[in-house]
Protein backbone atom coordinates (compact mmCIF):
# COMPACT_ATOMS: atom_id res chain seq x y z
CA UNK A 1 0.00 0.00 0.00
CA UNK A 2 1.37 3.39 -0.98
CA UNK A 3 1.36 6.39 1.33
CA UNK A 4 -1.43 8.08 -0.64
CA UNK A 5 -3.54 4.92 -0.62
CA UNK A 6 -3.20 4.74 3.17
CA UNK A 7 -4.20 8.38 3.53
CA UNK A 8 -7.18 7.94 1.22
CA UNK A 9 -8.30 4.90 3.21
CA UNK A 10 -8.19 6.82 6.50
CA UNK A 11 -9.97 9.80 4.93
CA UNK A 12 -12.82 7.66 3.59
CA UNK A 13 -13.28 5.90 6.92
CA UNK A 14 -13.38 9.22 8.80
CA UNK A 15 -16.13 10.45 6.48
CA UNK A 16 -18.02 7.16 6.73
CA UNK A 17 -18.05 7.57 10.52
CA UNK A 18 -19.06 11.25 10.29
CA UNK A 19 -15.90 12.41 12.05
CA UNK A 20 -15.13 16.11 11.93
CA UNK A 21 -13.05 17.61 9.15
CA UNK A 22 -10.49 18.71 11.74
CA UNK A 23 -10.11 15.12 13.01
CA UNK A 24 -9.85 13.78 9.46
CA UNK A 25 -7.10 16.24 8.59
CA UNK A 26 -5.23 15.46 11.81
CA UNK A 27 -5.35 11.69 11.28
CA UNK A 28 -4.35 11.95 7.62
CA UNK A 29 -1.51 14.32 8.49
CA UNK A 30 -0.04 11.89 11.02
CA UNK A 31 -0.37 8.94 8.65
CA UNK A 32 1.49 10.98 6.01
CA UNK A 33 4.30 11.82 8.47
CA UNK A 34 4.44 8.23 9.70
CA UNK A 35 4.67 6.84 6.16
CA UNK A 36 7.54 9.20 5.31
CA UNK A 37 9.40 8.30 8.52
CA UNK A 38 9.04 4.57 7.87
CA UNK A 39 10.47 4.98 4.35
CA UNK A 40 13.47 6.95 5.61
CA UNK A 41 14.18 5.48 9.06
CA UNK A 42 12.16 2.30 9.39
CA UNK A 43 14.45 -0.13 7.51
CA UNK A 44 16.46 -1.40 10.56
CA UNK A 45 13.26 -2.03 12.57
CA UNK A 46 11.38 -5.34 12.73
CA UNK A 47 8.56 -5.24 10.15
CA UNK A 48 5.80 -5.18 12.74
CA UNK A 49 3.26 -2.39 13.32
CA UNK A 50 4.22 -2.14 17.00
CA UNK A 51 7.93 -1.72 16.21
CA UNK A 52 7.25 0.95 13.60
CA UNK A 53 4.91 2.85 15.92
CA UNK A 54 7.38 2.61 18.79
CA UNK A 55 10.19 3.99 16.65
CA UNK A 56 8.12 6.85 15.27
CA UNK A 57 6.63 7.88 18.63
CA UNK A 58 9.99 7.60 20.40
CA UNK A 59 11.65 9.96 17.94
CA UNK A 60 8.82 12.44 18.51
CA UNK A 61 9.51 12.27 22.25
CA UNK A 62 13.23 12.80 21.65
CA UNK A 63 12.40 15.91 19.61
CA UNK A 64 10.73 17.33 22.71
CA UNK A 65 7.24 17.72 21.28
CA UNK A 66 4.42 18.20 23.76
CA UNK A 67 2.81 15.18 25.38
CA UNK A 68 -0.53 16.11 23.81
CA UNK A 69 1.10 16.02 20.35
CA UNK A 70 2.54 12.56 21.00
CA UNK A 71 -0.83 11.29 22.19
CA UNK A 72 -2.52 12.73 19.10
CA UNK A 73 0.00 10.90 16.89
CA UNK A 74 -0.49 7.67 18.85
CA UNK A 75 -4.29 7.81 18.54
CA UNK A 76 -4.04 8.59 14.82
CA UNK A 77 -1.80 5.61 14.11
CA UNK A 78 -3.92 3.36 16.31
CA UNK A 79 -6.95 4.37 14.24
CA UNK A 80 -5.03 3.70 11.04
CA UNK A 81 -4.01 0.17 12.03
CA UNK A 82 -7.07 -0.97 13.99
CA UNK A 83 -9.92 0.71 12.16
CA UNK A 84 -8.56 1.24 8.66
CA UNK A 85 -6.43 -1.89 8.20
CA UNK A 86 -8.10 -4.17 10.76
CA UNK A 87 -4.73 -4.92 12.39
CA UNK A 88 -4.16 -4.83 16.16
CA UNK A 89 -0.60 -3.51 16.62
CA UNK A 90 -0.50 -4.98 20.12
CA UNK A 91 1.44 -3.41 22.97
CA UNK A 92 3.34 -0.33 21.85
CA UNK A 93 6.22 0.36 24.25
CA UNK A 94 7.22 3.72 22.88
CA UNK A 95 9.09 6.45 24.69
CA UNK A 96 6.14 8.72 25.41
CA UNK A 97 5.78 11.65 27.74
CA UNK A 98 2.92 11.75 30.19
CA UNK A 99 0.80 14.84 30.07
CA UNK A 100 1.40 16.51 33.43
CA UNK A 101 -1.60 17.83 35.34
CA UNK A 102 -2.00 21.60 35.05
CA UNK A 103 -4.24 24.03 36.84
CA UNK A 104 -6.57 25.31 34.15
CA UNK A 105 -6.19 29.01 33.70
CA UNK A 106 -9.39 31.00 34.02
CA UNK A 107 -9.38 34.79 33.72
CA UNK A 108 -10.80 36.59 36.73
CA UNK A 109 -14.18 38.31 36.58
CA UNK A 110 -12.46 41.70 36.29
CA UNK A 111 -10.20 40.44 33.49
CA UNK A 112 -13.19 39.12 31.55
CA UNK A 113 -15.05 42.39 32.07
CA UNK A 114 -12.04 44.32 30.73
CA UNK A 115 -11.68 41.96 27.79
CA UNK A 116 -15.35 42.24 26.81
CA UNK A 117 -15.15 46.03 27.02
CA UNK A 118 -12.31 46.01 24.46
CA UNK A 119 -13.89 43.63 21.94
CA UNK A 120 -14.16 44.83 18.37
CA UNK A 121 -15.80 43.06 15.41
CA UNK A 122 -13.24 41.46 13.07
CA UNK A 123 -13.47 40.82 9.34
CA UNK A 124 -17.02 42.15 9.07
CA UNK A 125 -18.31 39.41 11.40
CA UNK A 126 -20.19 39.92 14.71
CA UNK A 127 -17.25 38.52 16.66
CA UNK A 128 -18.18 40.53 19.75
CA UNK A 129 -21.42 38.58 19.96
CA UNK A 130 -19.65 35.28 19.29
CA UNK A 131 -17.11 35.87 22.06
CA UNK A 132 -19.88 36.81 24.49
CA UNK A 133 -21.65 33.57 23.60
CA UNK A 134 -18.47 31.60 24.30
CA UNK A 135 -18.17 33.09 27.79
CA UNK A 136 -21.90 33.33 28.48
CA UNK A 137 -22.60 29.68 27.59
CA UNK A 138 -19.24 27.99 28.20
CA UNK A 139 -18.73 27.04 24.55
CA UNK A 140 -15.73 25.78 22.63
CA UNK A 141 -14.57 28.22 19.95
CA UNK A 142 -16.18 26.38 17.02
CA UNK A 143 -19.48 25.60 18.76
CA UNK A 144 -21.19 29.00 18.29
CA UNK A 145 -19.90 29.11 14.71
CA UNK A 146 -21.56 25.76 13.90
CA UNK A 147 -25.01 26.93 15.03
CA UNK A 148 -27.72 26.65 12.34
CA UNK A 149 -30.99 28.57 12.45
CA UNK A 150 -32.84 25.34 13.22
CA UNK A 151 -30.77 24.99 16.40
CA UNK A 152 -32.28 28.12 17.94
CA UNK A 153 -35.16 27.78 20.40
CA UNK A 154 -36.00 31.39 21.29
CA UNK A 155 -39.26 30.50 23.04
CA UNK A 156 -37.34 28.51 25.64
CA UNK A 157 -34.22 30.72 25.39
CA UNK A 158 -32.11 27.76 24.32
CA UNK A 159 -29.54 26.85 21.69
CA UNK A 160 -28.94 23.24 20.71
CA UNK A 161 -25.23 22.58 20.24
CA UNK A 162 -25.11 19.69 17.79
CA UNK A 163 -22.30 17.27 17.04
CA UNK A 164 -19.90 18.77 19.57
CA UNK A 165 -16.81 16.98 20.86
CA UNK A 166 -17.51 13.26 20.86
CA UNK A 167 -20.43 13.80 18.47
CA UNK A 168 -22.73 14.72 21.37
CA UNK A 169 -25.62 17.20 21.33
CA UNK A 170 -26.51 19.40 24.28
CA UNK A 171 -28.67 22.41 25.07
CA UNK A 172 -27.36 25.67 26.53
CA UNK A 173 -29.27 28.66 27.82
CA UNK A 174 -29.03 31.94 25.93
CA UNK A 175 -27.90 34.66 28.37
CA UNK A 176 -30.70 37.17 28.93
CA UNK A 177 -28.35 40.01 27.93
CA UNK A 178 -27.84 38.44 24.48
CA UNK A 179 -31.46 37.62 23.57
CA UNK A 180 -31.98 40.78 21.50
CA UNK A 181 -28.61 40.46 19.76
CA UNK A 182 -29.27 36.81 18.88
CA UNK A 183 -32.68 37.79 17.51
CA UNK A 184 -31.11 40.52 15.37
CA UNK A 185 -28.42 38.16 14.09
CA UNK A 186 -31.11 35.59 13.27
CA UNK A 187 -32.84 38.11 11.02
CA UNK A 188 -29.55 38.92 9.28
CA UNK A 189 -28.77 35.22 8.77
CA UNK A 190 -32.29 34.57 7.47
CA UNK A 191 -31.85 37.36 4.90
CA UNK A 192 -28.55 35.80 3.78
CA UNK A 193 -30.30 32.43 3.47
CA UNK A 194 -33.06 33.92 1.31
CA UNK A 195 -30.52 35.55 -1.00
CA UNK A 196 -28.53 32.32 -1.31
CA UNK A 197 -31.68 30.30 -2.01
CA UNK A 198 -32.65 32.71 -4.78
CA UNK A 199 -29.20 32.35 -6.37
CA UNK A 200 -29.04 28.58 -5.82
CA UNK A 201 -26.05 28.68 -3.46
CA UNK A 202 -26.38 25.92 -0.81
CA UNK A 203 -24.81 25.85 2.63
CA UNK A 204 -22.35 23.11 3.54
CA UNK A 205 -24.21 20.15 5.06
CA UNK A 206 -23.00 17.46 7.47
CA UNK A 207 -22.30 13.90 6.39
CA UNK A 208 -24.15 12.64 3.33
CA UNK A 209 -27.18 14.87 3.81
CA UNK A 210 -26.37 16.82 0.65
CA UNK A 211 -26.69 13.59 -1.37
CA UNK A 212 -29.74 12.26 0.46
CA UNK A 213 -31.65 15.52 0.40
CA UNK A 214 -30.00 18.11 -1.89
CA UNK A 215 -32.68 20.75 -1.22
CA UNK A 216 -31.72 20.87 2.47
CA UNK A 217 -28.76 23.03 1.52
CA UNK A 218 -31.15 25.75 0.36
CA UNK A 219 -33.52 25.58 3.35
CA UNK A 220 -33.56 28.36 5.90
CA UNK A 221 -33.33 25.92 8.81
CA UNK A 222 -29.92 24.65 7.73
CA UNK A 223 -28.53 28.16 7.20
CA UNK A 224 -25.67 29.25 9.46
CA UNK A 225 -26.34 31.73 12.24
CA UNK A 226 -22.93 33.26 11.43
CA UNK A 227 -22.48 32.72 7.66
CA UNK A 228 -19.23 33.39 5.85
CA UNK A 229 -19.12 36.57 3.79
CA UNK A 230 -18.31 34.75 0.54
CA UNK A 231 -18.81 31.33 -1.02
CA UNK A 232 -16.05 28.74 -1.04
CA UNK A 233 -15.31 25.19 -2.14
CA UNK A 234 -16.33 22.42 0.25
CA UNK A 235 -13.04 20.68 1.24
CA UNK A 236 -14.72 17.25 1.05
CA UNK A 237 -16.96 17.45 -2.00
CA UNK A 238 -15.40 20.29 -3.97
CA UNK A 239 -18.86 21.87 -4.46
CA UNK A 240 -19.32 25.63 -4.15
CA UNK A 241 -21.11 26.29 -0.86
CA UNK A 242 -21.72 28.87 1.83
CA UNK A 243 -19.51 28.11 4.83
CA UNK A 244 -19.66 29.73 8.22
CA UNK A 245 -17.43 32.33 9.90
CA UNK A 246 -13.95 30.89 10.46
CA UNK A 247 -12.67 30.52 14.02
CA UNK A 248 -9.55 32.52 13.11
CA UNK A 249 -11.71 35.67 13.18
CA UNK A 250 -12.82 34.90 16.74
CA UNK A 251 -9.29 34.13 17.87
CA UNK A 252 -8.05 37.40 16.35
CA UNK A 253 -10.88 39.29 18.05
CA UNK A 254 -9.93 37.91 21.48
CA UNK A 255 -6.22 38.45 20.88
CA UNK A 256 -6.71 42.10 19.93
CA UNK A 257 -9.02 42.71 22.89
CA UNK A 258 -6.54 41.05 25.24
CA UNK A 259 -3.75 43.28 23.94
CA UNK A 260 -5.90 46.37 24.39
CA UNK A 261 -6.81 45.29 27.94
CA UNK A 262 -3.22 44.52 28.90
CA UNK A 263 -3.91 40.77 28.98
CA UNK A 264 -1.77 39.84 25.97
CA UNK A 265 -0.97 36.12 25.94
CA UNK A 266 -3.14 35.65 29.00
CA UNK A 267 -6.58 35.03 27.49
CA UNK A 268 -7.77 32.85 24.59
CA UNK A 269 -11.29 31.84 23.52
CA UNK A 270 -10.88 28.51 25.34
CA UNK A 271 -9.83 30.33 28.51
CA UNK A 272 -13.25 32.00 28.41
CA UNK A 273 -14.86 28.55 28.52
CA UNK A 274 -12.77 27.82 31.61
CA UNK A 275 -13.84 31.18 33.03
CA UNK A 276 -17.51 30.32 32.53
CA UNK A 277 -17.12 27.10 34.53
CA UNK A 278 -14.94 28.63 37.24
CA UNK A 279 -17.10 31.72 37.76
CA UNK A 280 -20.29 29.63 37.78
CA UNK A 281 -18.78 27.28 40.38
CA UNK A 282 -17.60 30.21 42.50
CA UNK A 283 -21.17 31.53 42.53
CA UNK A 284 -22.46 28.21 43.85
CA UNK A 285 -23.76 26.59 40.64
CA UNK A 286 -24.22 22.82 40.79
CA UNK A 287 -21.24 20.93 39.37
CA UNK A 288 -23.70 18.51 37.75
CA UNK A 289 -25.36 21.45 35.95
CA UNK A 290 -21.96 22.81 34.88
CA UNK A 291 -21.03 19.36 33.57
CA UNK A 292 -24.18 19.30 31.45
CA UNK A 293 -23.59 22.82 30.13
CA UNK A 294 -19.98 22.06 29.17
CA UNK A 295 -20.85 18.70 27.61
CA UNK A 296 -18.43 16.68 29.73
CA UNK A 297 -18.97 12.91 29.81
CA UNK A 298 -17.45 12.59 33.27
CA UNK A 299 -18.15 14.67 36.35
CA UNK A 300 -14.48 14.17 37.26
CA UNK A 301 -13.52 16.31 34.26
CA UNK A 302 -15.77 19.11 35.48
CA UNK A 303 -14.54 18.91 39.08
CA UNK A 304 -11.20 20.44 38.10
CA UNK A 305 -13.02 23.77 38.05
CA UNK A 306 -13.83 23.45 41.74
CA UNK A 307 -10.45 24.81 42.72
CA UNK A 308 -9.16 24.02 46.21
CA UNK A 309 -8.17 27.11 48.15
CA UNK A 310 -4.99 26.55 50.19
CA UNK A 311 -5.30 30.11 51.49
CA UNK A 312 -8.18 28.92 53.69
CA UNK A 313 -5.79 26.65 55.63
CA UNK A 314 -4.21 28.44 58.61
CA UNK A 315 -0.45 27.93 58.75
CA UNK A 316 0.70 25.85 61.75
CA UNK A 317 3.56 28.34 62.14
CA UNK A 318 1.12 31.23 62.59
CA UNK A 319 -0.76 29.23 65.21
CA UNK A 320 2.45 28.59 67.16
CA UNK A 321 3.57 32.22 67.11
CA UNK A 322 0.13 33.73 67.79
Q: Which residues are catalytic?
A: 140, 165, 270, 273, 296, 305
Rounded to a whole number of angstroms, the distance between the first and last alpha carbons of the chain is 76
3-state SS track over the chain:
CCHHHHHHHHHHHHHHCCCCHHHHHHHHHHHHHHHHHHHHHCCCCCCCHHHHHHHHHHHHHHHCCCHHHHHHHHHHHHHHHHHHCCCCCCCCCCCCCCCCCCCCCCCCHHHHHHHHHCCCCECCECHHHHHHHHHHHCCCCCCCCCCEHHHEEHHHCEEEECCCHHHCCEEEECCHHHHHHHHHHHHHHHHHHHHHHHHCCCECCCCCHHHHCHHHHHCCCCCECCEEEEEEECCCCCCEEEEECCHHHHHHHHHHHHHHCCCCCCCCHHHHHHHHHHHHHHCCCCHHHHHHHHCCCCHHHHHHHCCCCHHHCCCHHHHHHC
Amino acid sequence: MTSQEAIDKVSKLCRLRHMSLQTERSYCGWVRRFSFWVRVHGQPLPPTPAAKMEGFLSQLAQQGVAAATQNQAFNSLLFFYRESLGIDPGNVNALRARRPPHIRHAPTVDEVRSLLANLRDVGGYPTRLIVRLIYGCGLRVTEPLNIRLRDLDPDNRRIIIRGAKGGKDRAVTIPASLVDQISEQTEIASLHADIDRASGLPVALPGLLAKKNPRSGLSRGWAWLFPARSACQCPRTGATVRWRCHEANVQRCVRQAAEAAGLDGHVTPHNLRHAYATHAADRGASMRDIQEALGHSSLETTMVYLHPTPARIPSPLDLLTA
